[in-house]
Amino acid sequence: MNKKLIIWIAVIFLGAIIIGAVWYAAFAPKSAPQSSQTSTTLPVSGSITTVPPSSATSSQAIQTVTLATQTGSSVTANDFTHNGVTIPDAANAGRYLLAGNLGYCPSDPQKCQAGSSTNFNIFYNSTEQSFIIDLSEEPIGQTRLDMEQSLAATLGLTEQQMCSLNYYVGVTRYVNSQFAGKNLGFSFCPGATVLPK
């Protein structure tokens, strides 16, 4: 009986995904062709600053953004929305995918892929200035370490600065039912959940 129930749930789930994809393809707004110039506006709450290059860094100026913290102060991070890897989430205005896959581009999966990560997704919500991170592969302890390394490099922040961000690190019950529904935190932050590696 359980096997049949699982099969029916899988069929219903797959059907919902297919219906959603067809709906999206039929009713999604068609975007205008992108020009070869980069947008001059930053779709992230906060401010953008151009830092002049130093002789020790590359010859290009570094763009930065200001991110709110849990205490109401702010930190300055690399501009991750214009780094050539992050993609806007067309289905959710103001949301960006820094790493992973959006999962709703069946006809062109590359349009939904940010970076090479397949074991985690990192989203940024510009309205709330918060990061939502999904660990999507076991062992989740190692997946979290991989994600932390990727996010730190993308943002150019220290561990202490990362701990101050508004963020949620989670896992679905399909990946790990023991830790589902909890904010696991960054492994190096106070109060983080210890995960098996």
What contacts 24+ positions apart, CB below 8 Å, involve 17-24?
Answer: 20/104, 21/104, 21/106, 24/91, 24/104
pTM: 0.69
Answer whether residue 59 is part of any domain.
yes
Judge whether residue 40 has pLDDT over 70: no
Judge whether residue 44 has pLDDT over 80: no
Answer whether residue 178 is part of any domain.
no
The residue with tokens 């989203």 is 123
What is the pLDDT averaged over residues 1-30? 59
Split into its structural domains, the chain has a count of 1
Least confident of 54-63, 86-95, 122-131: 54-63
Answer whether residue 35 is part of any domain.
no
Answer whether residue 21 is part of any domain.
no
Answer whether residue 99 is part of any domain.
yes
Answer whether residue 61 is part of any domain.
yes
What is the pLDDT averaged over residues 91-117? 87
Domain extent at residue 103: 46-170
More confident residue, 161 or 117: 161
How far apart (Å, rounded) are the C-alpha atoms in residues 95 and 87? Answer: 9
Q: Which of 10, 43, 16 is nearest to 104 (CA)?
A: 16
Judge whether residue 59 has pLDDT over 70: no
Q: What is the pLDDT of residue 50?
A: 43
Give just the sign of the alpha carbon dihedral 80, 193, 139, 182. negative
